Amino acid sequence: MPDAQQYNLDDLCYLMQRLRDPEAGCPWDLKQTETSIVPYTLEEVYELIEALEQGDHESAKGELGDVLFQVVFYAQLAQERALYGLDDIVNGIVTKLVRRHPHVFQDGTLRSSVVAREQIDEATVKARWEAIKQGERNARQQGSAMDDVPLSLPALSRAQKLQKRASQFGLDWPEVEPVLDVLRGEITEFEHALESGTARSVADELGDILFSVVNMARLLGLDAEQVLRQSNRKFESRVRHYEELGSERQLNLSFLSNEERDKLWDEAKHREGSQSPS
């Protein structure tokens, strides 16, 4: 009979220890390493993002649990090698966040009391945050602000992070209009590459277009990866409506004329709009 109790983080850690018990643990869990579970971690994070963006709070609660389990799994693997444990992870993140929020923890301690709240705007908070992070990089003797931008990030996210880092040195645009000019120029160069360039130059110019679009998203305060996910969902929805219309009319979608295809696509867009929540 299942336990009739409310579990807590200690119980999750105990469960993880049981799964990794050399004598009585789970064979699958015992085979795993820090690298073998990385794909599962990525999958869980993306499932969490989807639930959050869809506003599905019940699913988000479950997905947060799955992500938390991944953290506990990594901590257990590290603890078995006497590297660090969950307490060390928690201590590290609390220490770092206290240090990066001097406007909240004014004497540099977690339990510090606020005598007089500093009047500070969001822009100043962000500037201080980046300055503190740069100080941390300097302490680690990093040679460049680019050094700790993970190569494993999705390309759009990494482009945005690289651009943000470069902006610390004035390598940035003050407003969107100049970026539009750059984007137009990149499109022109792409067209020239299509006409006379090699496959490599076409790919290079297309990459420059994408990089400029990411720059524009950043200047508009948008996350390029999130914006593209939204467009993906919109396109997927329209294709589904397109398929539904074709099925309702018993059409072979592979053999429509261009005119028929365009008309059906417009109808699919209209159906999507009429079914969207107001």
CA–CA separation, 223 vs 160, rounded Å?
8
CB contact burial 73-101 (16+ within 10 A = b; e otherwise): bbbbbbbeeeeeebeeeeeeeeeeebebe
pLDDT band of 267, cuts 50, 70, 90 = very high
Average pLDDT over residues 172-199: 92
* Residues 6 or more apart whose Cβ sits within 8 Å of residue 22: 30
CA–CA separation, 134 vs 148, rounded Å?
11
Query: Residue 116 has what pLDDT?
Result: 65
CATH 3.30.420.40 matches 9-100: no
Q: Where are the domains of the chain?
A: 9-100, 174-222, 225-275
CA–CA separation, 60 vs 84, rounded Å?
29
Measure the CA dihedral 213/218/220/224, to 10°: 60
Q: Are 201 and 165 in contact (CB under 8 A)?
A: no
Which amino acid, one-letter code, is at 214? Answer: V
The DSSP line for 168-205 is: TTT-S-SSHHHHHHHHHHHHHHHHHHHHH--HHHHHHH
Cα end-to-end distance, the chain, whole Å = 46
For the entire predicted model, the pTM comes to 0.67
Average pLDDT over residues 200-215: 95
| pLDDT tens digits, 6-51 | 999 999 999 999 999 999 999 999 999 999 999 899 999 999 999 9
CA torsion sign for 49, 50, 55, 58 is negative
| pLDDT tens digits, 121-168 | 788 887 787 788 777 777 776 668 788 788 888 899 999 999 988 888
If you average pLDDT over every residue of the chain, what do you get?
Answer: 90
Nearest C-alpha neighbor of 214 from the set 158, 253, 252: 158
CA–CA separation, 66 vs 71, rounded Å?
9
Token reading at 96: 């770092």
Query: Residue 249 has what pLDDT?
Result: 92
